[in-house]
């Protein structure tokens, strides 16, 4: 298979074929290699998919199904589902794909029975591509609302205000026929509701299915008819519950105060980031990735440029790699400070701990502002480098932060919170996720590592200069809210350790490979770039057909996929713990809803 | 003993509380409205309250800070303004949300394009302040501004900036981004000398 990688493609990890020898022999005739130029992995017959995945998990050790996504190959009249599986012991991905003709009914067997983590991702594919997953226990739309017409990620779907297939739009120059987008809005003035419409009595159409899917058993006490008869009720928390970190909603079935079942409902902030990404040129996507997880824009940039650099076959110069790692690790510190602060908010310590943490984050944002020009929407990395060199004096500021100030402040935060009895009572033993469950539900990042799985992409599948840096993968074993909190503390310390090495070792030289270009040439093929984002594994799956706009641009969003396990974590807990558990998962709705 | 963790935590809070007053005393009443103190309050050496008394007191924007682009023009001795922009359209092509509209001028007799835009619009409601236009402009004609106080009473009419609203003199640019300006001028001068040397040889 080596000849597949001829040409400029030089993947950072070894090709995925090696560790899974014998897959084709195990499934003769129904599994074959993907022979397309610059494509990787195996094509699996839909009928054999579940069997294949089970064998992969049980015999080949691929126990972690990281990403599931769809691709619409409109010219070939084909839809494809792409799976990325990993071994939790580390190593490159095993990619496998299922192809199906584009004519209805489009059905692919669901993998939820093998990997629970496929749940939300398959729902997303059904929602956006209209591929039905047979055997999926709860196949409803997830980002769009029930009753929405069409599947927006299909290549022939045109959004409202559709202008052209790809940017740049031709009417901007040289005619410059300027208009306000709002003038094209059909609801320009205001919106009138029908006479019979009462907002109080209105139930969104599609929610019937949601409520019907909630477990509701009429409880007759202990079941022998002698205990106290109780009734289970369904309660909506949100949308927009005060401490849900954004427009997010969970529906719970309650037995008294105990949660019987919980389902997250999301999509309130959905803007079809991926469709926008496919209209954009490659470069234009960089500032858009800032807006996914807006706390960690630097590391979002990093994941995306890594994916496209894999396709382009270029590598940034050494100095740029150091700058990137420096920015990304500062982002991790800032994110974990934020997460810890707001976890305490969720536990009821209203804003004092949060503000102590945000104080320190503020100084990191000052560094971002001085280097990239913006505190949060950094837009700093470019294909083959970074946008500009570090400004004068910023290295000294970072040095002061990582050697002097931050370690002390983290210790102070530790002394402030870790021993606090209220924090401990509210979080120890709450929201437990075992190691097996965490892998099964594709939890990533701190949620996975707090459950005792020492899986960190920086170690498991090193990218950039992480293989040369000295740090430990933080791991905790109880898998509860408290351990997730402790793990974030550990990770801040590890990040500071990395930062100290980076600040000391940063070399001089160029910050960009080749000349900066606004129209990059990306050879046809696919690439999956993944980084250890502060919230978990962030992956970008990019398919190029050689044109200026990506054919497929998919974001494997850790905030979104980590929520798959939320129902599991909350079962049997008290309703008041939901907020704490959500806080310990640490989601950002900009990324969850995309 | 149960409760010791809470007491220790309250100790941290108390320390923070006292620190705000200690820092006030340290500056002898000159902690606020004092650029020298502000610089330290916004650095890793900061202690006490982080708040800034905006708008009386303002954070110093770093040179790279970027907000809404503007167009540069040079002014000659007679006071005539010359746009640096040649209406090549690269900024409009590179703009991720496509918020730049350019009308290219052309000679009415020959119909050939003239390297100066007739009109230049930026819809600041759409602009995402990414700075790509400034980064890829080959003529250093569009740059990111430092002015972020842009509120207007009427967004229907006031939020599409035209060329007049967008244009600012080169001297303004030199004042907000001195080191960038210097670097670009040096590069331009080097280019000119190289060109002249080539012409002579």
Cβ pair A280:B100 closer than 8 A: no
Rg (CA), chain B: 25
Q: Which chain A residues are closer than 8 Å to B90 by Cβ? A: 518
Q: Taking a C-beta distance cutoff of 8 angstroms, is the pair A67, A81 a contact?
A: no
Report the C-alpha gap between A30 and A36 in whole angstroms: 17
Q: Are B8 and B107 members of one domain?
A: no
Q: Exposed/middle/buried for B110, CB within 10 Å: 0-12, 13-18, 19+?
A: exposed
Q: Are B152 and B88 members of one domain?
A: yes
Q: From the CA of B16, how many Å to the nearest CA of chain A?
A: 9
- Domain count for chain B: 2
Q: Taking a C-beta distance cutoff of 8 angstroms, is the pair A358, B49 a contact?
A: no
CATH number at residue B115: 3.30.70.3270
Last residue of a domain, one of B60, B92, B110: B60
Length of chain B counted residue by residue: 201
Both structure tokens of A489: 């503390």
pLDDT at position A213 over 80: no
Q: Taking a C-beta distance cutoff of 8 angstroms, is the pair A461, A444 a contact?
A: no
pLDDT in tens, A41-60: 888 988 889 988 998 888 88
Rg (CA), chain A: 24
B133: nearest CA partner in chain A: A518
Which of A286, A373, A397 is closest, CB to CB, to B64?
Answer: A373
* Domains of chain A (ranges, CATH numbers): 2-134 (3.30.460.80), 273-592 (1.10.645.10)
* DSSP states along A247-261: S-EEEEEEETTEEEE
Q: Is A508 on the interface with B (CB under 8 A)?
A: no
Cβ pair B92:A168 closer than 8 A: yes
Closest CA to A516 of B80, B102, B131: B131
Cβ pair B93:A280 closer than 8 A: no
Q: Strand, helix or coil at A330? A: helix
Report the C-alpha gap between A29 and A49 in whole angstroms: 13
Cβ pair A172:B100 closer than 8 A: yes
Q: From the CA of B80, how many Å to the nearest CA of chain A?
A: 25
Which pLDDT score is estimated for A193?
Answer: 64
Both structure tokens of A112: 């939820």
Which pLDDT score is estimated for B200?
Answer: 80
Average pLDDT over residues A354-365: 91
Q: Which chain B residues are closer than 8 Å to A181 by Cβ? A: 123, 125-126
Report the C-alpha gap between A237 and A342 in whole angstroms: 18
Q: Which chain B residues are closer than 8 Å to A410 by Cβ? A: none
Which pLDDT score is estimated for B157?
Answer: 79
Q: Is A288 on the interface with B (CB under 8 A)?
A: yes
B144: nearest CA partner in chain A: A373
Q: How far apart are the first and last CA of chain B?
A: 89
Confidence of residue A410 (pLDDT cuts 50, 70, 90): very high
3-state secondary structure A137-193: CCCCCCCCCCCCCCCCCCCCCCCCCCCCCCCCCHHHCCCCCCCCHHHHCCCCCCCCC
Last residue of a domain, one of B23, B44, B60: B60
Residue, of A331 and A190, whose pLDDT is higher: A331
Which of A284, A287, A400 is closest, CB to CB, to B44?
Answer: A400
Q: Are B113 and B141 members of one domain?
A: yes
pLDDT in tens, A489-506: 999 999 999 999 999 999
DSSP state of A43: E
- H or E element in which residue A99 lies: strand A94-101
Report the C-alpha gap between A307 and A326 in whole angstroms: 19
Q: Taking a C-beta distance cutoff of 8 angstroms, is the pair A482, A583 a contact?
A: no
Our separate counts of H helices and E strands in chain A read 20, 15
Which of B3, B62, B128 is closest, CB to CB, to A369?
Answer: B62
Which pLDDT score is estimated for B175?
Answer: 92
Q: Taking a C-beta distance cutoff of 8 angstroms, is the pair A278, A307 a contact?
A: no
Q: Are B107 and B13 members of one domain?
A: no
Which of B50, B63, B132 is closest, CB to CB, to A283?
Answer: B132
pLDDT at position A194 over 80: no
B44: nearest CA partner in chain A: A401
Q: Are B136 and B174 members of one domain?
A: yes
Q: Which chain A residues are closer than 8 Å to B102 by Cβ? A: 172-174, 176
Q: Is A366 on the interface with B (CB under 8 A)?
A: yes
Report the C-alpha gap between A434 and A386 in whole angstroms: 40
B113: nearest CA partner in chain A: A174
B157: nearest CA partner in chain A: A180
Q: Are B22 and B76 members of one domain?
A: no
Report the C-alpha gap between A43 and B136 in whole angstroms: 41
Which of A173, A359, A371 is closest, CB to CB, to B50?
Answer: A359
| Residue keyed to tokens 């996975």 | A448
Report the C-alpha gap between A22 and A442 in whole angstroms: 25
pLDDT in tens, A216-231: 665 555 555 566 667 7
Which of B44, B102, B126 is closest, CB to CB, to A176?
Answer: B102
Q: From the CA of A401, how many Å to the nearest CA of chain B?
A: 6
| Residues of chain A above pLDDT 70, percent | 91
Q: From the CA of A402, how many Å to the nearest CA of chain B?
A: 10
Q: Are B31 and B50 members of one domain?
A: yes
Confidence of residue A17 (pLDDT cuts 50, 70, 90): very low
Cβ pair A516:B90 closer than 8 A: no
Count how many pairs of residues, chain A against chain B, have C-beta atoms within 8 Å: 147
Q: From the CA of A236, how many Å to the nearest CA of chain B?
A: 34
Residue, of A549 and A202, whose pLDDT is higher: A549
Last residue of a domain, one of B60, B85, B101: B60
Strand partners, B168: B72
Q: Are B76 and B137 members of one domain?
A: yes
Q: Which chain B residues are closer than 8 Å to A419 by Cβ? A: 4-5, 8-9
Question: B15 lies in which domain range?
Answer: 1-60
Q: Which of A171-185, A261-275, A494-508 has the lowest mean pLDDT?
A: A171-185
Q: Are B140 and B168 members of one domain?
A: yes
pLDDT at position A11 over 50: no
Residues 549-588 of A with CB under 8 A from B: none
B116: nearest CA partner in chain A: A174
Cβ pair B64:A388 closer than 8 A: yes
pLDDT in tens, A136-159: 988 888 898 877 778 889 988 888
Q: Are B170 and B185 members of one domain?
A: yes
Which pLDDT score is estimated for A531?
Answer: 92
Cβ pair B12:A412 closer than 8 A: yes
Confidence of residue A7 (pLDDT cuts 50, 70, 90): very low
Phi, psi values for residue B36, rounded to 5°: -65, -45
Q: From the CA of A266, how many Å to the nearest CA of chain B?
A: 25
pTM for this model (two decimals): 0.88
Cβ pair B96:A285 closer than 8 A: yes
pLDDT at position A482 over 90: yes
Which pLDDT score is estimated for A285?
Answer: 92
Q: Which chain B residues are closer than 8 Å to A283 by Cβ? A: 94, 132
Closest CA to A533 of A335, A246, A311: A335
Confidence of residue A243 (pLDDT cuts 50, 70, 90): low
Q: Are B56 and B98 members of one domain?
A: no
The mean pLDDT of chain A is 86
Q: Which chain B residues are closer than 8 Å to A396 by Cβ? A: none
Residue, of B80 and B14, whose pLDDT is higher: B14
Strand partners, B119: B103
Q: Which chain B residues are closer than 8 Å to A424 by Cβ? A: 5
Cβ pair A366:B42 closer than 8 A: yes
Q: From the CA of B60, how many Å to the nearest CA of chain A?
A: 11
Average pLDDT over residues A195-224: 66
Q: Which of A80-84, A102-106, A416-420 has the lowest mean pLDDT?
A: A102-106
Average pLDDT over residues B99-125: 86
Closest CA to A102 of A82, A76, A127, A136: A76
HSE (CB half, 13 Å, CA atoms) of A279? 25
pLDDT at position A16 over 50: no
Q: Are B21 and B106 members of one domain?
A: no
Q: From the CA of A315, how many Å to the nearest CA of chain B?
A: 21
Q: Is A369 on the interface with B (CB under 8 A)?
A: yes
Confidence of residue A187 (pLDDT cuts 50, 70, 90): low
Which pLDDT score is estimated for A9?
Answer: 36
Q: From the CA of A509, how many Å to the nearest CA of chain B?
A: 17
Q: From the CA of A222, how many Å to the nearest CA of chain B?
A: 37
Q: From the CA of B200, how many Å to the nearest CA of chain A?
A: 29
| Residue keyed to tokens 């920086």 | A458
A177: nearest CA partner in chain B: B101
């Amino acid at each position: 298979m080596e000849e597949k990688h001829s040409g400029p493609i030089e993947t950072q990890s070894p090709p995925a074929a090696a560790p899974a020898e014998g897959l084709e022999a195990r499934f003769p005739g129904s599994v074959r290699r993907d022979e397309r130029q610059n494509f990787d992995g195996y094509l699996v017959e839909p009928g054999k998919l579940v069997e294949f995945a089970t064998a992969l998990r049980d015999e080949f050790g691929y126990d972690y199904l990281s990403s599931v996504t769809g691709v619409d190959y409109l010219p070939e009249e084909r839809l494809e589902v792409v799976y990325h599986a990993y071994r939790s012991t580390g190593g490159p991905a095993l990619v496998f794909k299922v192809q199906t003709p584009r004519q209805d009914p489009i059905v692919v067997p669901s993998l939820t029975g093998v990997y629970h983590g496929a749940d939300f991702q398959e729902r997303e594919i059904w929602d956006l591509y209209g591929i039905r997953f047979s055997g999926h226990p709860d196949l409803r739309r997830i980002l769009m609302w029930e009753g929405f017409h069409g599947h927006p990620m299909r290549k022939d779907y045109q959004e409202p205000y559709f202008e052209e297939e790809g940017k740049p739009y031709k009417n901007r120059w040289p005619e410059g026929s300027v208009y306000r987008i709002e003038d094209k809005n059909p609801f320009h003035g205001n919106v009138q509701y029908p006479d019979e419409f009462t907002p109080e009595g209105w139930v969104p159409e599609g929610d019937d299915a949601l409520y019907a899917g909630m477990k509701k058993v009429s409880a007759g006490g202990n079941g022998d008819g002698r205990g106290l008869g109780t009734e289970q009720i369904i309660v909506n928390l949100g949308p927009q519950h005060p401490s849900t970190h954004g427009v997010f909603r969970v529906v719970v079935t309650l037995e008294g105060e105990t949660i019987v079942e919980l389902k997250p409902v999301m999509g309130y902030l959905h803007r079809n980031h991926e469709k926008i990404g496919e209209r954009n040129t490659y470069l234009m996507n960089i500032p858009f990735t800032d807006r996914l997880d807006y706390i960690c824009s630097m590391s979002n940039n990093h994941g995306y440029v890594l994916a496209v650099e894999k396709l382009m076959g270029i590598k940034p110069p050494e100095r740029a790699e150091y700058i990137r790692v420096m920015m990304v690790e500062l982002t991790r510190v800032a994110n974990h400070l934020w997460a810890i602060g707001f976890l305490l908010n969720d536990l009821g310590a209203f804003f004092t701990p949060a503000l102590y943490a945000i104080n320190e984050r503020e100084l990191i944002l000052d560094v971002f502002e001085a280097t990239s020009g913006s505190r949060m929407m950094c837009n700093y990395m470019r294909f083959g480098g970074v946008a500009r060199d570090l400004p004068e004096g910023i290295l000294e500021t970072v040095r002061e932060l990582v050697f002097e100030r931050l370690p002390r402040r983290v210790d102070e935060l530790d002394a402030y919170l870790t021993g606090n009895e209220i924090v401990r009572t509210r979080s120890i033993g709450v929201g437990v996720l075992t190691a097996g469950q965490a892998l099964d539900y594709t939890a990533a990042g701190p949620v996975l590592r707090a459950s005792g799985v020492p899986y960190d992409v920086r170690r498991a599948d090193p990218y950039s200069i992480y293989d040369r840096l000295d740090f430990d993968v933080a791991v905790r074993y109880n898998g509860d809210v408290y351990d997730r909190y402790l793990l974030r503390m550990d990770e801040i310390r590890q990040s500071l350790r990395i930062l100290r090495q980076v600040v000391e070792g940063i070399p001089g030289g160029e910050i960009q490979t080749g000349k900066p270009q606004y129209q990059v040439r990306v050879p046809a093929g696919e690439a999956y770039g993944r980084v250890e984002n502060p919230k978990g594994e962030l992956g970008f799956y990019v398919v190029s057909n050689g044109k200026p706009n990506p054919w497929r641009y998919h974001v494997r969003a850790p905030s979104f996929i980590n929520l798959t396990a939320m129902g599991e974590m909350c079962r049997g807990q008290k309703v008041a713990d939901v907020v704490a558990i959500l806080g310990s998962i640490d989601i950002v709705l900009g990324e969850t809803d995309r | 003993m149960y409760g010791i963790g809470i007491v220790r935590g309250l100790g941290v809070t108390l320390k923070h509380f006292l620190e705000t007053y200690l820092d006030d005393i340290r500056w002898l009443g000159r902690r606020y409205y004092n650029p020298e103190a502000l610089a330290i309050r916004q650095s890793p050496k900061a202690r006490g309250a982080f708040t800034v008394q905006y708008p009386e007191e303002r954070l110093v924007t770093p040179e790279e800070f970027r907000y809404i682009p503007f167009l540069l023009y040079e002014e000659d001795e007679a006071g005539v303004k010359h746009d640096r922009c040649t209406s090549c359209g690269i900024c409009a092509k590179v703009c991720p949300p496509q918020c730049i509209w350019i009308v290219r001028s052309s000679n009415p007799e020959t119909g050939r394009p003239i390297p100066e835009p007739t009109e230049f619009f930026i819809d600041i409601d759409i602009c995402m302040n990414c700075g790509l236009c400034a980064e890829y402009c080959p003529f250093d004609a569009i740059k990111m501004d430092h002015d972020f106080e842009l509120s207007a009473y009427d967004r229907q009419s006031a939020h599409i900036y035209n060329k007049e609203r967008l244009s600012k003199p080169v001297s303004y640019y030199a004042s907000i981004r001195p080191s960038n300006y210097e670097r670009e001028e040096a590069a331009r001068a080097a280019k000119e000398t190289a060109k002249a040397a080539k012409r002579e040889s």
